[in-house]
Amino acid sequence: MILESIADGVFTVDRDFIVRSFNRAAEKITGVPREEAIGQPCCEVFRAEICEQMCALKQTELTGKPVVNRPVYIVRADGSEIPISVSAMPLKNEHGTIIGGVETFRDLTQVEEFRKQLERSFTFRDMLSQNRRMQELFELLPQIAESESTVLVEGETGTGKELMARALHDLSPRSAGPLVAVNCGALPDTLLESELFGYKAGAFTDARRDKAGRFAQAEGGTLFLDEIGDISPALQVKLLRVLQDGVYEPLGSVESVTANVRIIAAANQDLEVEVEAGRFRQDLFYRINVICLTVPPLRDRLEDIPLLADHFINRLNHLRGRDIAGLSRDALNAFMRHAWPGNVRELENAIEHAFILCPGGLIAPAHLPEKFHAPHLTHPPATTLEEIEAQAIHNALVRNNWKRNVTAQELGVCKSTLWRKIKRFGIEVPERKGVAETPADS
């Protein structure tokens, strides 16, 4: 009676993997009537993608250990394919001898559809975020893309500055033209100059033929200059001329070439500080800083970690034919406590590392790089959704110098709601001018 009343499908098999019981939920999920299922090999009834090579029942019989929440797809009786979560364990008699196995499975169709809808809701081009500041950037990008103005994208390494540049290009009137990217910090001056402007045959040793530079390759499109803060003062002068006059000379040429490109520059350092220190030309800074977009680091948008991790896991599952279910609670906890100096790129690398070590099911802390193991973590633990929310609110308050009006606007809530959450989570707000703030304070 219990098995008939639950929503999970349950069936049992004998040592020959012949189905011996099949509950009502199993009928509903698979579309196979009980009378047709019983007495048949489970692979003919279940028709899952794992039946041939990674059968959960065979694995649990061989190892004597249960299989828990393995995500797979099955083909229903009507031919449709649906996602399910499978768990299996051996059945033993009173002497401890394995006599068969039991498998439970849950229909994940609605969960998968919700996940896709959630991901679509927070996706802009190839960028994923539910952070308020990122959503504000997403709203601005179409307007900025329509202009021909030079754009400076600031942000730490790994935050997705090139994705931002690609989105600007794809949304712009130049989208039919090329998007050409150059990492200015990866090349020495002599190579970078020829890479940007090209050269004529005979300009230097081994220059046997003309070569078009990146400005020429980006003609009619967009040139993305990444790590622009790393170029030398001498090359900054030549780049300034292109931005001012729209012309340049390839190395070894005496004729100027007109550049029909839009410039998007990116820097992982504060260029204003570089200008004050004399390492970056002020006039060049003003030329590239017509519009400035700042991409927040991952540590300031912790709410994006579950969304991004799920995205990377699904992508790797598809590329590698794996069936990783997701992050365990402890693995997510480790991610929420990490400082993320490498930002989104570091998160992606951590997931890829876990795919190598995780045999299936959920990613555990042991599958993550060593820096995510407990002794090396830098932030207080956040083990529940409430703790994650409290940590995100605390980080936003610190980021905005404890100004609740600004923080509420960033988080997309009214100030009274933010005040209730501060009280609820016990977040200590520093006193201002010797007097603690009240809900009426700004």
- DSSP letters for 26-91: HHHHH---HHHHTTSBHHHHH-BTTTTT--HHHHHHHHSS-EEEEEEEEE-TTS-EEEEEEEEEEE
Q: Which two tokens stand for residue 128?
A: 């994923």
Domain end, chosen from 263, 294, 325, is at: 294
Q: So what's the pLDDT on residue 353? A: 96
φ, ψ (nearest 5 deg) of residue 187: -125, 145
Q: So what's the pLDDT on residue 373? A: 81
Condensed to tens digits (0 to 9), the pLDDT of residues 153-186 reads 999 999 999 999 999 999 999 999 999 999 998 8
Q: Within its chain, how far is the Cα of 13 from the centroid?
A: 41
Domain end, chosen from 107, 130, 151, is at: 107
Condensed to tens digits (0 to 9), the pLDDT of residues 104-134 reads 998 888 777 766 665 666 778 788 898 889 9
The alpha helices in 89-232, defined as continuous H runs, are 109-121, 132-146, 161-171, 189-197, 214-217
Cα–Cα separations (whole angstroms), residue 296 to 93, 156, 395: 58, 8, 12
Same domain, 276 and 155: yes
Containing structural domain, residue 315: 298-376
The CATH code of the domain that includes 80 is: 3.30.450.20
Q: CA-CA-CA-CA torsion for 37, 38, 44, 47, nearest 10 degrees?
A: 60
Domain end, chosen from 241, 260, 294, is at: 294
The CATH code of the domain that includes 325 is: 1.10.8.60
SS3 194: helix
Number of structural domains found in the chain: 3
- Position 311 in a domain: yes
Render 283-310 in DSSP notation, one character per residue.
HHHHHH-SEEEEPPPGGG-TTHHHHHHH
Same domain, 247 and 272: yes
Percent of the chain topping pLDDT 70: 90
Condensed to tens digits (0 to 9), the pLDDT of residues 172-226 reads 999 999 999 999 988 887 789 888 998 877 666 676 788 888 999 999 999 999 9
CB atoms within 10 A of CB 225: 24
Same domain, 334 and 365: yes
